[in-house]
Amino acid sequence: MQTLKLLTMLVAILFVAPAVATAGWWSLVDRPGSWRSADWSSSGMLPAAPERDAAAVYVFAARTGGLKGAFSVHSWIVLKRPGSTRYERYDKVGWGSPIRRDGWAADGRWYSNAPELVAMADGERALGVLAEMDAAIASYPWSHNGDYRIWPGPNSNSFVAHVLRQVPALGATLPPNAAGRDYAPGVASVDLAPDGRDLHVTFNGLAGFALGVRSGVEIHFMGLVAGLDIARPALKIPAFGRVPIWPGA
């Protein structure tokens, strides 16, 4: 009984309290009433006309709309290939074609919310991972009509998380408030990154943990993530996101 009380208290402190506080903050944020009135235009984070010879990989995330925005971001992938003067954007969405290509501006706002840059690579580093990114996008196992579930997944963040796990050279993980990023099918799943530097354990995306160079230390509960980023020192706050311990981290 004492153990149960302790676990309940830990869940309340680590997960419930931050999620409730974030929901309260979100209720005060001015935002569009529907997707029709939302701003989906370019945020201006990327050059409108990229250099032909440049190669780059970007991962973006932005708060989603409605009540979901209190707890989660939507993430997507942008590729810039050498010899091209355009970007390619890849999203997993719950309507239309499940893996959507170039459905929105590469650095577009999502439900009027400006994106944040989660990860990027350019130059030789980008050239070194482009083929792996293509292979990971193509190998996403839930890429067909009907293969989308808002919670616990597979959803838009499950797609991007899959790609990032398959391409460890990019050195990135999704923000802690990317609900669905930890989804895996079955009662239990243990995933060791291809480079052996990140371990991810989950019970159907509802509970689990992650340890490693990229993930740091994480505890997962009902799609929420609490933890510590070690490589770039920061707290991982459920629903709220990543909070650097000092500026620039």
d(CA 48, CA 176): 30
Q: Tens digits of per-residue pLDDT, 101-132? A: 999 999 999 999 999 999 999 999 999 999 99
Kindly indicate the confidence band of residue 249, based on its pLDDT and cuts at 50, 70 and 90. Answer: low
Q: What is the mean pLDDT of residues 122-149?
A: 93
d(CA 21, CA 243): 15
Is residue 248 within 8 A of residue 176, CB to CB? The reply is no
Kindly indicate the confidence band of residue 183, based on its pLDDT and cuts at 50, 70 and 90. Answer: very high
- 236 strand-pairing partners: 227, 242
Kindly indicate the confidence band of residue 248, based on its pLDDT and cuts at 50, 70 and 90. Answer: low
User: Could you tell me which residues come within 8 angstroms of residue 185 by beta carbon, excluding any fewer than 6 positions away?
Assistant: 204
The mean pLDDT value of the chain amounts to 93
Q: Tens digits of per-residue pLDDT, 69-102? A: 999 999 999 999 999 999 999 999 887 677 899 9
pLDDT, position 241: 95
Q: Tens digits of per-residue pLDDT, 12-34? A: 999 999 999 999 999 999 888 78
Q: What is the mean pLDDT of residues 207-224?
A: 96
Q: Is the pLDDT of residue 247 over 80?
A: no
d(CA 144, CA 104): 20
Residue 113 tokens, joined: 């919310």
The single residue listed with the structure tokens 């869940």 is: 11
pLDDT, position 48: 87
d(CA 15, CA 238): 6
Provide the residue type at 44 as one letter. G
Kindly indicate the confidence band of residue 54, based on its pLDDT and cuts at 50, 70 and 90. Answer: very high
pLDDT, position 126: 96
The percent of residues in the chain predicted with pLDDT above 70, rounded, is 99
* Angle of helix 123-138 versus helix 156-166 axis, rounded to 10: 120
- CA nearest neighbour of 66 among 116, 105, 20, 29: 29
Domain range annotation of the chain: 2-244
Q: Is the pLDDT of residue 153 over 80?
A: yes
Q: What is the mean pLDDT of residues 189-214?
A: 93
d(CA 73, CA 181): 10
Is residue 207 within 8 A of residue 219, CB to CB? The reply is no
Is residue 32 within 8 A of residue 97, CB to CB? The reply is no
pLDDT, position 114: 96
Full-model pTM: 0.94
DSSP character string of 58-122: EEEEEE-SGGGGGT-EEEEEEEE-TT-SS-EEEEE-SSSSSEEES-S-TTB-BTTBPPEEEEEEE
Q: What is the mean pLDDT of residues 64-72?
A: 92
